[in-house]
Amino acid sequence: MSDMSDIPDATAPPALEAVGVTKVFPGVIANAGVDLALRRGEVHALLGENGAGKSTLASILTGLYRPDAGELRMDGAPVTLKTPRDGLERGIGMVHQHFRLVERFTVTENIALGDKRLPWRWSAAKVRTEVEQLAGRYRLPIDPDAIVGELSVGERQRVEIVKVLYRGAEVLLLDEPTAVLTPQEADALFVTMRALADDGRAVVFISHKLREVMAVSDVVTVMRDGAVVDDVRTADTDPEALARAMVGRSVDLSTRWARSAPGEPVLKLAGLRLDAVDGRGRLEDIDLEVRAGEIVGVAGVAGNGQRELAETIAGLRRPDGGTVQVLHRDITGVRPSQARMAGLAYVPEDRLGTGLAPSLSVTENLQLTRSLPFLIDRRGGLAHATEVIERFDVRTTGPGAAVGTMSGGNAQKVLLARELDVRDGLTRAIVVAAPTRGLDVGATEFVRDLLDARRADGCAILLISEDLDEVRALSDRIVVLSEGRIVLRREAADAEVTELGLAMAGQATPNDAPDEPSQGPSGGPYHEPGGPR
Amino acid sequence: MNETVLVLTLAAAVSAGTPLALAALGALLSERAGVLNLGIEGIMLVGAVTAFLAADASGRPLVGLAAGVLAGAAFTSLHAFLSVTMRANQIVSGLALVIFGTGIATFLGQSIEGRPLAARLPRTSIVGLADIPVLGRVLFSQDVVVYGTWVVIVLAALYLTRTRTGLALRSVGESPATADAVGIRVAAMRYAHVIIGGGFAGAGGAYVILARVPAWAQAGTTNGIGWIAIALVVFASWRPLRALAGAYLFGAALRANFALQAAGITAVPAEFLAMLPYVLTIVVLMVLSATDTRSRLGAPAALGAPFVRDER
Amino acid sequence: MTSWFGRLRLEKRNAPGTGVLLLVPLVSVVAALLFGAVFLSLIGLAPVAVYREMLRVSYTTGYGIADTLVSATPLILTGLAAAIAFRFKLYNIGGEGQLYVGAIAASGAALAFGDRLTGPAAILLVIVAGALGGAVWIAVPALAKAWLGTSEIITSLLLNYVALFLMQYLIFGARTFWRDPESATFPQGARIPDATRLPTLGTTRVNLGLVVAVLAAVVLYLLLTRTRIGYRWRVFGDAPAAARYAGIPSRQVIVVVLLLSGALAGLAGATEVAGRAGRLDPTGLALNIGYNGIIVAALARYNPLAVIPVGLLLGGVLNAGPALQTLPGARVPVAISTMLTGAILLFALAGELFVRYRIRMRDPADVEELAEQATTAVASPRAGTGPEAEA
């Protein structure tokens, strides 16, 4: 580790610098002449919408991609990084959004992996000591002997951070680190980031969340469409200015709640129960009503039963108890096609692979959940696809293009066109999971508009997402799922981040107890607290 | 069955299990690197025919063994190239190796078909241990390859669990993106272990011709034990020591028909007895998958998937 | 700074053109022939002369073409068997055993009931029995795959050996129903009744089996591309999770596809019994027709229609090996055919990369130009959906 100083020296050359970096992918200019200076002792936020080029820039800074033009400099000297190992060996470490960990290894094994300083016949003991030291110094509590596959998302992130610190990283890049954390976990992460900067490291915080950027960073660089559009000290700016720079126009930061009062209950879950398989995927006594014309958001940390809840409602899993009703019709444990016939649409979080078959064409994917005649109507399918492409502004080479070759936003449009664009009035209840994940600002607004329109049509929408910001932005009412139970229910207007975060972490206060006095575990009609009457 | 027959049968089971153990170790190393190698049967045939020709020409069985190892490794480099560099479907590539290997071996073996090999592996008893009652004759009155197999199996087990390279190898099979991110050269690791694995499979094939079968009999020389070796890897949960134990178990099954015949049981036709090891393998695979999930069995998570760092 | 090699990049193709699709198999065949030439030279033969002979015995004479068509018939059927399964990532590599059992069932049915039937009924009997035999032989791996999750690869393959022993037992092992009682010293299968033999075309040995094979290919193609069933199978093959999401019963798909695959291989066995051989002939059957079907399917890229021409091409190569043995003074090993087909498959697999990817060399000048475009594009403000760089 190099000599440390408490005060960043503004005259010293930056620890890592990008000068005029350009990266072109087929059809996309991901980075266009980007300049970025990362200094020791600073937390540097890299702000931008999805698709602005942040991740590409990070990949160039860490050696995963090589710039097509421009160069990198370390402490003022030009440097060429050929692989991520080059970056790592020069002290540039990255914590990816999708963790790079071997699930079957222990924490220590993961951290020792690839460390050439270790003797060929290595022993875990020495590494474990170092891991414990680093973890203690930066307040990153982890158990060195735990199997990574059994850790929570937050714990895995701490392992990733210790891993890059163990390898001697002087420049640390964290890509959207808070997306999967509870607000409290995020706050703890900010403390760690500050401690790392104070220790003389350069910390990069990649995010699209204004609140967090304002809270933790010293410097902000804003990117849009692959270029740097703003580069300021955090103290000299405000959220509105950053938002404008990020999106390129004024944006409405407020949430949109339903304008009219919700109607009768459409989707009713009563005492829904799913027993654990291998200690995972448990659901316990889920009671929930979604009424016509409202969006109910389900918040929670990944792996707390969200997927199981959605799949049980959609008929993909048979519950071990309780009932699912759509408009008074019991669809508990029916086949997915029958659930659909009853008026339920389901948009799964995994677009390519579950919601869509990647190698199949747009035309064929639009037929996936439709009932088809024995001989497929090819002409009709083609006409429908052409019409959808036109009306939803899907950017593709044509109805015959495989959806796997399209961008995330355009693929999502195909999926939503199939599940949400129902004009026959049959669909009354919609379950959507993470509908805007990974989409750029335009596509996100498109999805929100579509959900708004369906809500206005009187559909009951259940929105499930691990991204608390997404849930808060879209929902009229919020419930929190933790370890397969609903631990908190709030009107969106009354929901406070702190309270939601504590509930997500499974620490609901006793007076928030969700069990309704009017009903037992066997289910039955009940009234939820605080709902508008 | 009297005691002599029992001892002879067990000793034969150990010998019959040795090519299985070597081939299974080869498949295991490849799979631990994330590359499925279904070509074992073809590699064994190539190793066997090369070993025959080399041993016959030199008059020394160990030269045959060395030639079998080298031929197996060289032949398997095709699979490494196709699955690592060309990102081909590993299942089809492995099958291609079987078909191609059978073709080459039959082609090269045309002139030696049915001919017995003079330079066979001699028996080498281990002084002292060979005199132990029963056990001595079952385990310690074998040839050098049987003993050598124990050594490489133990070394492989230590390599996987105790060394830095072994850790890197396992990470390449579990999560190549993770390995790549910390600077492990995924392609190089895969090439190395697929090819070394091919060398072990070639050794297994060489052993078949040098110690097991009386003469070169085309594809009938190995007669499907390469496939049983692949099943053995699943049975062994991808662990070398368990693979050795399993190999001896299946070796016993392979010898069961001879034992029954020796014991005077002739009610069951020989053809049906010959089916036994294959049927047994199928049943074992079904029971394993019925009782355990793939992940709990220990299959490398990235098995069969080509690694591409940058798809763009 | 960067070498030319560093500037090579692989770009994923959206849809490969017909040119590449045709070129890859053709180049593979040529490369395999060159490779085979090396081996032929090694054992002291003149490759050009051998290849000329192969052409003659398989492709350029009327008699040769007829032989090729006869060889191609079961090959097209086992090719379809592999294509239909592999296409949906169900790896039935037990076509060899299913073919044997199909042949056993077809000859058994013909021997048992053939005398009492005439005309189309007799032929239908043989064909149905063969298909059923093949389907029965894949049933256990199929059910184990669907309900236990047992990989079908090794289970289906190991059954090839079991089928081989079964067939050997029926002819060589004991005096069974299938064995010709007259053949004591050189055991062979009993002749099936003439009514159950497939009619031949004119004076040639080309039989109705070829028509059955071509018909099967066309029907399969239509099933896959035009019907709901084929659509569901394609969803399952591409993304099992999407199939589950859409309510497509995966277990049913696995079992039906594998049974169909087995039936097609069994059908190949039936055409061999009722066509070429006229009896259960273990040595005539054990020519790797099942394994070679996998090569046919791979070269045809698992497209049923493409299986027909590829089957005809490989039928000639496979016919040539044995045909060369009948020539006076033949020194060409019969295994030349197996080696060549294996090599063709290896080259085709390598060529697959060029089907899926386009190899491009990046010119540094291009990059500067693109960068310039990028800067100007950003300078002019634009809102709405841009292409997503981080998708």
Same domain, residue pair A400 and A449 = no
- For residue A356, give the nearest of A343, A341, A369 by alpha carbon: A369
Considering the domain boundaries, does residue A4 fall inside one? no
- The DSSP output letter for B214 is S
Considering the domain boundaries, does residue A208 fall inside one? yes
Q: Which two three-digit tokens encode residue A83? A: 């692989």
pLDDT digits (tens, 9 = 90+) for C231-287: 999 999 999 999 999 999 999 999 999 999 999 999 999 999 999 888 898 887 878
Least confident of A119-133, A218-232, A287-301, C279-293: C279-293
Task: Write phi, then psi, for C335 (nearest 5 degrees).
Answer: -70, -5
Neighbours of chain C (3+ CB pairs under 8 A): A, B
Same domain, residue pair A78 and A206 = yes
Same domain, residue pair A207 and A260 = no
Which chain B residues are within 8 Å of C174, Cβ to Cβ? 269
Measured CA to CA, the distance from residue B32 to residue C249 in angstroms comes to 33
For residues A158 and A146, the answer to whether their CB atoms sit within 8 Å is no
Residue A460 carries which side chain, given as an amino acid letter? A
Considering the domain boundaries, does residue A3 fall inside one? no
Record: contact A358-C389, CB cut-off 8 A: no
Terminal Cα distance for chain C, rounded: 30
- For residue A477, give the nearest of A264, A298, A266 by alpha carbon: A298
Q: What is the pLDDT of residue A526?
A: 34
For residues A46 and A221, the answer to whether their CB atoms sit within 8 Å is yes
Same domain, residue pair A529 and A383 = no
B102–chain C nearest CA distance, Å:
8
Range of the domain at A263: 255-343+428-533
Measured CA to CA, the distance from residue C204 to residue A290 in angstroms comes to 74
What's the average model confidence in pLDDT over A405-413?
Answer: 86
C-alpha count within 13 angstroms, C-beta hemisphere, residue B186: 26
Which chain C residues are within 8 Å of B288, Cβ to Cβ? 150
| Beta-carbon contacts below 8 Å between A and B | 74
Determine which of B40, B278, B295 to mutate to test the interface with C (most C C-beta atoms within 10 Å): B278
Q: pLDDT grade, residue A281 (50/70/90)?
A: low
CATH number for the domain harbouring residue A195:
3.40.50.300
Record: contact C389-A51, CB cut-off 8 A: yes
Q: What residues have CB less than 8 Å from A158, skipping those under 6 apart? A: A135, A140, A141, A142
Compute how many other C-beta atoms are within 10 angstroms of the C-beta atom of residue B1. 13
Pairing of strands A294-299, A460-464: parallel
For residues B21 and B149, the answer to whether their CB atoms sit within 8 Å is yes
Measured CA to CA, the distance from residue C1 to residue A203 in angstroms comes to 31
Q: What residues have CB less than 8 Å from C223, skipping those under 6 apart? A: C229, C230
Same domain, residue pair A89 and A198 = yes
Same domain, residue pair A297 and A153 = no
Q: What is the pLDDT of residue A3?
A: 45
Determine what percent of chain C is predicted with pLDDT higher than 70.
Answer: 86
Same domain, residue pair A399 and A478 = no
Task: Write phi, then psi, for B79 (nearest 5 degrees).
Answer: -65, -40
- For residue A512, give the nearest of A496, A523, A526, A525 by alpha carbon: A496
Record: contact B81-C350, CB cut-off 8 A: yes
Determine which of A66, A225, A436, A450 to mutate to test the interface with C (most C C-beta atoms within 10 Å): A225
- For residue A392, give the nearest of A375, A417, A372 by alpha carbon: A417
Compute how many other C-beta atoms are within 10 angstroms of the C-beta atom of residue A120. 10
For B164, which residue in chain A has the nearest alpha carbon? A120
* Top mean-pLDDT range of A6-10, A406-410, C273-277: C273-277
Neighbours of chain A (3+ CB pairs under 8 A): B, C
Q: pLDDT grade, residue A423 (50/70/90)?
A: low
Task: Collect the ranges in chain C with pLDDT lower than 70.
Answer: 1-17, 328-330, 359-391
**Where do we find the tokens 């002292």?**
B128
Mean pLDDT of chain A: 86
Record: contact B99-C353, CB cut-off 8 A: no
Record: contact B81-C12, CB cut-off 8 A: no
- What are the distances in angstroms from CA C356 to CA A365, C21, C30? 21, 10, 21
For C16-80, give the DSSP string: --HHHHHHHHHHHHHHHHHHHHHHHHHTT--HHHHHHHHHIIIIISHHHHHHHHHHHHHHHHHHH
Residue A70 clears pLDDT 60, i.e. is over it: yes
**Where do we find the tokens 């085979």?**
C36
C214–chain B nearest CA distance, Å:
25
Residue where a domain stops, chosen among A401, A424, A447:
A424
Strands (E), A1-149: 16-25, 28-38, 43-47, 69-74, 77-79, 92-95
Same domain, residue pair A306 and A434 = yes
Residue where a domain stops, chosen among A247, A273, A293:
A247
Q: Which two three-digit tokens encode residue A524? A: 């039955």
Q: Assign residue A315 a region: left if phi > 0, alpha if psi is -120 to 50, beta otherwise?
A: left
Sheet of A344-347: strand order equals A344-347, A429-433, A460-464, A294-299, A477-482, A485-491
Three-class SS of residue A232?
Answer: strand
Record: contact C144-B286, CB cut-off 8 A: yes
B229–chain C nearest CA distance, Å:
10
Q: What is the pLDDT of residue A533?
A: 31
User: CATH assignment of B3-297?
Assistant: 1.10.3470
For B288, which residue in chain C has the nearest alpha carbon? C150
A466 or B232: which leads in pLDDT: B232
Same domain, residue pair A283 and A169 = no
R_g over Cα of chain A = 25
Measured CA to CA, the distance from residue B303 to residue A533 in angstroms comes to 56
Which chain C residues are within 8 Å of B271, Cβ to Cβ? 165-166, 168-169, 173
Q: What is the pLDDT of residue A452?
A: 87
Same domain, residue pair A223 and A283 = no
- For residue A36, give the nearest of A226, A165, A248, A235 by alpha carbon: A226
Same domain, residue pair A219 and A329 = no
For residues A29 and C374, the answer to whether their CB atoms sit within 8 Å is yes
What's the average model confidence in pLDDT over A504-518?
Answer: 56
Measured CA to CA, the distance from residue C72 to residue C296 in angstroms comes to 10
Task: Collect the ranges in chain B with pLDDT lower than 70.
Answer: 1-2, 292-297, 310-312
Considering the domain boundaries, does residue A148 fall inside one? yes
Residue C313 carries which side chain, given as an amino acid letter? L
**What are the contacts of A276-285 at 24+ separation with CB within 8 A?**
A281/A305, A281/A307, A281/A308, A281/A484, A282/A308, A282/A483, A282/A484, A283/A308, A283/A309, A283/A312, A283/A319, A283/A484, A283/A485, A284/A483, A284/A484, A284/A485, A285/A322, A285/A485, A285/A521
Q: What is the pLDDT of residue C306?
A: 94
Terminal Cα distance for chain B, rounded: 67
Same domain, residue pair A417 and A481 = no
Considering the domain boundaries, does residue A198 fall inside one? yes
Considering the domain boundaries, does residue A350 fall inside one? no
- For residue B103, give the nearest of A293, C63, C250, C40 by alpha carbon: C40
- Contact status of A104 with chain B (Cβ, < 8 Å): yes
C-alpha count within 13 angstroms, C-beta hemisphere, residue B137: 10
Angle between helices C18-42 and C47-55 (to 10 degrees): 130
- What are the distances in angstroms from CA A222 to CA A17, A39, A205, A496, B285? 16, 17, 12, 28, 56
Pairing of strands A265-274, A321-326: antiparallel
For residues A139 and A190, the answer to whether their CB atoms sit within 8 Å is no
pTM: 0.89
Considering the domain boundaries, does residue A349 fall inside one? no
Angle between helices B270-291 and B240-262 (to 10 degrees): 150
Bridge partners of A479, per DSSP, are A298, A489
Q: What is the pLDDT of residue B51?
A: 97
For B232, which residue in chain C has the nearest alpha carbon? C154
